[in-house]
Amino acid sequence: MTVLASSLDTAGPDYAAHRAAMLDKLAALDTEHAKAVAGGGEKYTARHRARGKLLVRERIELLLDPDTPFLELSPLAGWGSDYTVGASLVTGIGVVSGVECLITANDPTVRGGASNPWTLKKAFRAHEISLANRLPSVHLVESGGADLPSQKEIFIPGGALFKHLTRSSAAGIPTVAVVFGNSTAGGAYVPGMSDHVIMVKERAKVFLGGPPLVKMATGEESDDESLGGADMHARTSGLADYFAVDEPDALHTARRVVARLDWRKAHPDPPPAAPPAYPEDELLGIVPGDLKVPFDPREVIARIADGSDFDEFKPLYGTSLATGWARLHGYPVGILANARGVLFSEESQKAAQFIQLANQRDIPLVFLHNTTGYMVGKDYEQGGIIKHGAQMINAVSNSRVPHLSVLMGASYGAGHYGMCGRAYDPRFLFAWPSAKSAVMGPQQLAGVLSIVARASAEAKGMPYDEEGDAALRAMVEQQIEAESLPVFLSGRLYDDGVIDPRDTRTVLGICLSAIHTAPYAGVHDGYGVFRL
Ligand code: COA
């Protein structure tokens, strides 16, 4: 039997404390998500409605099949910056006419839907997801183009938006643009580069230069409609393939266009799967508030894997890392989960072997992070920890099966890399509110800085300022702690979102389904050289 037995004491004080701490973090996260949903705030929302327009999320809702989920991506983009949380763009994966699509939609209530540096990063990430998973993309367009005060950050790199659209098309991945309003200057190339274009009557404004600019450039008198209205583009320029009489008609037309794509997934859907044997709700009470306290990731696996079935590989070897086979919503996966923080040589080699097995069998991998990194110290260095960590990083880097990462707790140092951190291109990466990620823990980093400063003072023959040291350590610790938090990292697009632990199985299920739209295969022609 490989069904996990749980030893989580749901009546005990630890469980209650962990759950309370997680619920506090989730409440704080809700407040941040609410900022993204509020968009430009009451004034601009009311004005938008008074113009008879739908809000960005209402547009998405009408586009999607009724009662299907929408996995919103990077909702906290721009958090901690001068820009509105969410970065004036909503992106995500949703089902349109039975087809999983990547959706991007400008929020015109936020500075006219203009794109700032975070908007751009978010749009680029959405494109990556569409391309890697061969998801058709639907773009709901209404934007003031470049956010003019930050133009220096976006004008030059921003051109890639249009390149991405046409490269998707070249790769055979359909692109659909639905224009609800302003889409001028560079923005005109969104419909310009898309396979299918729908424009809303008397609302769409698609021109390279508006009437004032045309007047300045050539002296010609013109108006919005004759320069770039839906009617003109549908009848005269031919840029619009479909003329929609209003917003619901445009969204209905987009659904029709997607239905006609006859889009087929590379892999058939798996048969219905058994739910885990333990309630997903209990995922709230597993991670301790203090990440120095270890927890057993099998308690997490028992609440996300089909039937809580986890067939463990090498359970007696390298016990700080649990590896094994499971199914998630019917999809076979290999899971690597940190069990006690530190990665030693045995764990690293076990991981490298396991990743190679998954590649031989074409099985996607799920990485559940709670690691403080690879073990340091004389014995471990002499024992070859660098070589063994390198084997794991080689295996992760060159693996070609899709990877999914979830940061549950700590994700520090090179452990973040070995466990397929953001720089290792997992197809998707999500964090729990309990996660923390940095080059090392805040206390350790502050301590290292202090030792270095002390040594530097000694080398110069100067006395060391002990009082200043305590203040420096406290300040650095606070700064690194703040920079390790998931909302901060999510704001910088270092993950695809911070999720409620209870949603993990659903989120991973949506991702696995999206992943199986594209063909994939593991490494069958050899890895790079493993240092032995
Ligand atoms: N960059 C920075 N801020 C912008 C912006 C842009 N491209 N477009 C709009 N905004 C700001 C406005 O200044 C305004 O701010 P305020 O309320 O603090 O004064 C807010 O966003 C809303 O704009 P507003 O013009 O009131 O909204 P609207 O819905 O009536 O019109 C646009 C929206 C996009 C049609 C109009 O703002 C516009 O033409 N913007 C400039 C477009 C442009 O030339 N972009 C460069 C193309 S590359």
What is the residue-wise DSSP string for 237-251? I---SEEESSHHHHH
Mean pLDDT per 10-residue run, the chain (532 residues)? 95 98 98 98 98 98 98 98 98 98 98 96 98 98 94 95 97 98 91 98 95 92 96 98 98 98 97 97 97 96 98 98 98 96 96 97 98 96 96 97 98 96 98 95 90 92 90 93 96 98 98 98 92 86
Residue type, 287: V
Contact predicate 74/125, CB 8 Å: yes
pLDDT given at position 187: 86
> Does residue 111's CB lie within 6 angstroms of at least one atom of ligand 1?
yes
Q: Are 21 and 290 in contact (CB under 8 A)?
A: no
Query: Within a 13 Å sphere around the CA of 532, how many CA atoms are in the beta-carbon half?
Result: 3
Q: Which residues pair with 99 in a beta bridge?
A: 96
Give me the pLDDT at residue 284, please: 98
39 Cβ closer than 6 Å to some ligand 1 atom: no
> CB of 4 within 8 A of CB of 311?
no
What is the homologous superfamily of the domain 280-435+498-515 according to CATH?
Answer: 2-enoyl-CoA Hydratase; Chain A, domain 1 (3.90.226.10)
Pairwise CA distance, residues 44 & 253, whole Å: 27
Give the residue whose CA is nearest to atom 41 of ligand 1: 144
Report pLDDT for 341: 87
pLDDT given for residue 143 in this prediction: 95
Give the 3-state secondary structure of residue 412: strand
Direct distance between the N- and C-terminal alpha carbons of the chain, in angstroms, rounded to an integer: 35
* Residue 242, beta-bridge partner list: 198
Superfamily covering domain 25-259 = 2-enoyl-CoA Hydratase; Chain A, domain 1 (3.90.226.10)
What are the C-alpha distances in Å from 183 to residues 126, 209, 234, 356, 422? Answer: 19, 10, 15, 47, 32
- DSSP reduced 3-state for 309: strand
Find out whether 330 and 267 touch, Cβ atoms under 8 Å.
Answer: no
pLDDT of the residue at 220: 94
- Tell me the β-bridge partners of 54: none
148 lines ligand 1 (CB under 6 A): yes
pTM: 0.95
CA atoms of 171 and 153, how far apart (whole Å): 28
Q: Which of 111, 120, 141, 143 to mutate to test the pocket of ligand 1 (most atoms within 8 A of CB)?
A: 111
Where in the chain are the domains?
A: 25-259, 280-435+498-515, 440-484
The domains spanning 25-259 and 280-435+498-515 adopt the same CATH topology: yes
Structure tokens at 452: 């270095």
